[in-house]
Amino acid sequence: MSDEKRHTIQTQLLTWYGQNKRDLPWRKNKDPYRIWVSEIMLQQTRVDTVIPYFERFMELFPTVEDLANAPEEQVLKAWEGLGYYSRVRNLHQAAKQIVHEGDGKIPSDKKSILKLKGIGAYTAGAVLSIAFDQKIPAVDGNVMRVFSRLFAIGEDIASGTTRKKMESLVEKVMPEEAPGDFNQALMDLGATICTPVSPGCLLCPVRPVCEAYEKGMEEQLPVKKKAKPPVQQEMVMAFFQHQNLFIGEKRPEQGLLAGLWGLPTFEIPKGDRHLTIIEKFCKENRIPVLNYIIKGEFQHVFSHRHWKVTVVEVELKHTGFDLPTSWSWLEKEKRDEKTWANVYHKAFETERKKV
């Protein structure tokens, strides 16, 4: 890479960013806590979705101390709807590390910040460059796409080796001054112009030095190996109810939807029927059923699995029977006091529909 190309990328990108940067609530100052929370929220989530969650989260937990000392249920409730709940669990745990094991301040060196739960190379680079003006790359999918095109790199960006090469390349291009602005400029460029489909090359500030544009390859890059399709699973969710009560299930602390609330959920073996599964379970556990009503179906895609769900309303004769350990009677009007995974919000919507 020539010095001229490096200089062009630096100056054109920073000039463009100064004129076009997005007005985002976490950019109002350089508070490392706000920047850190925003970066965790933005993982696998759109900016316009994150903004209201971020503002509400900051109202509830304005400092790292407030977050560290908050009960887990309150933190999970503030995150409800964002999904990928391991992110907020790690964020909460890292806040405790900072407040109860450290000096109460977010570390300003790479070695220390990487020791915090849930912080990897990208988040560390974002926080250290934006909040502390350190020349450290923050390479996410947007940045990988931009650099794949700028330098016509045809290697698989899903590869760890390629990511390392990209980090090294970004570090070489980064200016000594305003490294945080440079990283954010790359993020904004990838989000608004150098998009995955139909990139807006005519509006791109670095088009004159983009090798993919010069070669007409901008639509072919980056190269990314296709992920395995999600595993298909047939599921049934049971809405056990009696008068103003229904049964909720606290999910296990490990695994899918860990620690959240849900409805009793069963996987349907191939060749079996949803009602058969529920009827068998109720009989084996001596659950006094008055009636079964199939309320409807919906689909929900997780990162590695695809659920096709049938919702069955189970009207009960009474509540005088033993519940499995993870089940609890809940009042319908107080349902929102618990934190429910998105898939169960879909189940509630399905249950409310008239048959």
Active site residue 39: yes
The maximal CA–CA distance of the chain, rounded, in angstroms, is 79
What is the bridge-based pairing of β-strands 305-316 and 231-242? parallel
Q: Where on the phi/psi map is residue 45: left (φ > 0), alpha (ψ -120 to 50), or beta?
A: beta
- Rounded CA-CA distance 42/339 in Å is 20
- Nearest Cα to 64, choosing from 102, 7, 10? 102
CA 270 to chain centre: 31
Contact 106, 128 (CB under 8 A): no
Question: Which entry of 4, 39, 167, 267 is annotated as an active-site residue?
Answer: 39
Output the CA angle 126-132-137, nearest 5 degrees. Answer: 35
- Rounded CA-CA distance 165/73 in Å is 41
Alpha helices (H) in the chain, listed in sequence order:
3-20, 32-42, 47-60, 64-69, 72-79, 86-96, 110-113, 121-132, 141-150, 160-173, 179-192, 211-215, 274-284, 342-352
- Rounded CA-CA distance 122/138 in Å is 5
- Rounded CA-CA distance 206/10 in Å is 9
222 upstream amide cis, omega within 30 of 0: yes
Two tokens, residue 5: 């190309």
- Rounded CA-CA distance 307/347 in Å is 12
Residues 6+ away with beta carbon under 8 Å from 199: 149, 193, 218, 219
DSSP structure string for 231-294: EEEEEEEEEEEETTEEEEEEPPSSSTTTT-EE--EEE--TT--HHHHHHHHHHHTT--EEEEEE
CA 354 to chain centre: 33
**Residues that are catalytic:** 39
